[in-house]
Structure 1
Amino acid sequence: MNETVVPTRGELFLGYAKAGLFGFGGVAAWARRIIVEERRWLTEREYAEVLGLGQVLPGPNVGNAAVMIGRRFHGLPGSLCATAGLYIGPLCILLLLAAFYDAYGQVPRIGALMQGIAAAAAGMVIGTAIKMGSRLKAPPEMVALGLLAAAAAFWWRVPLPLIVLGLGPVGIFCAWRRQRPEAAH
């Protein structure tokens, strides 16, 4: 069942507000869950494409995706609703936490708490990537490109813009080549 639902502006705001409030350590996992699984605004592939584009643009990838998804459904007002929903809750929480950290940040247990939160956030990012990758059923050449990009970033410390400039055209060519026979039929 791949039918998608068109959200109202209010639903865009509330859906992204939920993602923003529940997304401690990273919103990507919650945004995908809400947009694809719960609300069915986009298919898994559509969301992966939007998020992928959001990752190569400057700024936070999920924020970029919120702008694009909001625009897709309701133009500029939709972009503003989705983006405002995404950021309003975390902004309020961040201001409160900044005041708390300013007052108690020198306490050793607070440092240990922050390390634990960082580890949980890393696990969420890895889990989301695995979940999205397993559902997309990418062709072997795209899996190879993804692994090469990850190796370039992780082991060889190649900056993201260079990875995108180097592997992006190869990925585009592979996708174009794979779709070419389908278009002929």
Structure 2
Amino acid sequence: MDEPACLRPPNARALFTAFTLLSLQGFGGVLGVVHRELVERRRWMSESEFAGDWAMAQVLPGPNVCNLALMYGWRQFGWRGALAALAGLLCAPALLLIAVATLLVSVDQLAPVRGAIGGMAAVASGIVAGAGLRLARGLGTHPLGLCGAWGVAAAALAGLLAARLPLLWVVAAVGLPSCWLTWLRLRRAPPASAP
């Protein structure tokens, strides 16, 4: 199934605005919000583009969503786009964090506050799980095939959750071989015909 053509942000200011708005929606993590805003709502990225960029953002050092914002912004408008996307992602939440941290210093031992923080942790887990399921939709078009892609995902989860391996080891043991196998499959695939 072919993915619909993607739109392009009109300018770096639009990137700043979009990343500011999505950062203000991302309580407990912004992966689900970023996907919804960039892929579903604004149609600035396709499912496969988002999955590829998110995979790269995951293995690079630093915060995943910041890596994604930098890569996407750079591709759209060079250094201006990268700076606009990253600034949009960080400015408003940083100001909110300073305000909330200032408030929490005086009330963090109160039982209702501790209960609210615990409840937010559960919501954050659900947001991450939902985003993971949305990303899984793109596995059907992966060069390793659906079973191969799910096998790689299962091996990574087993390494992280069951064996409790450090992320770097899982990337080396599962990620690098799967990248190599994907590259081999792509080399063997016939070239795509021009539309």
Which shifted more, 37-46 or 138-147?
138-147
Offset of 1:36 from its aligned partner?
A: 0.6
1:130-169 to structure 2, matched below 5 A, reads 130-137=133-140, 138=142, 139=145, 140-169=147-176
Partner of 1:58: 61
1:58 counterpart SS class: coil
Partners of 1:152 and 1:46 lie apart in 2 by 26
TM-score (norm 1): 0.95
Partner of 1:41: 44
1:184–1:11 Cα change, 3 Å: closer
Partners of 1:103 and 1:184 lie apart in 2 by 63
Runs of 4+ in 1 over 6 A off after TM superposition: none
Pick the structure with more helix per residue: 1
Partners of 2:109 and 2:176 lie apart in 1 by 48
Partner of 2:7: 5
Q: Deviations over 1:17-40 (max 9, x none)?
A: 111000000011101111111111
Matched, 1:67 2:70: yes
- Tell me the percent identity: 32
Amino acid at match of 1:175: T
1:105-184 to structure 2, matched below 5 A, reads 105-137=108-140, 138=142, 139=145, 140-183=147-190
Partners of 2:24 and 2:161 lie apart in 1 by 29
The 8 Å contact of residues 141 and 174 in structure 1, kept in 2 or not, is answered as no
Offset of 1:42 from its aligned partner?
A: 1.0
Offset of 1:177 from its aligned partner?
A: 2.9
5+ residue gaps, structure 2: none
TM-score (norm 2): 0.90
Which shifted more, 166-175 or 87-96?
166-175
Q: Deviations over 1:69-89 (max 9, x none)?
A: 000000111000000000111
Q: Deviations over 1:131-166 (max 9, x none)?
A: 110244242112101111011111211111111111
Partners of 2:97 and 2:190 lie apart in 1 by 49
Amino acid at match of 1:3: A
Partners of 2:163 and 2:173 lie apart in 1 by 14
The 8 Å contact of residues 51 and 138 in structure 2, kept in 1 or not, is answered as no
1:22 counterpart SS class: coil
2:189 counterpart SS class: helix
Which shifted more, 73-82 or 5-14?
5-14
Partner of 1:81: 84
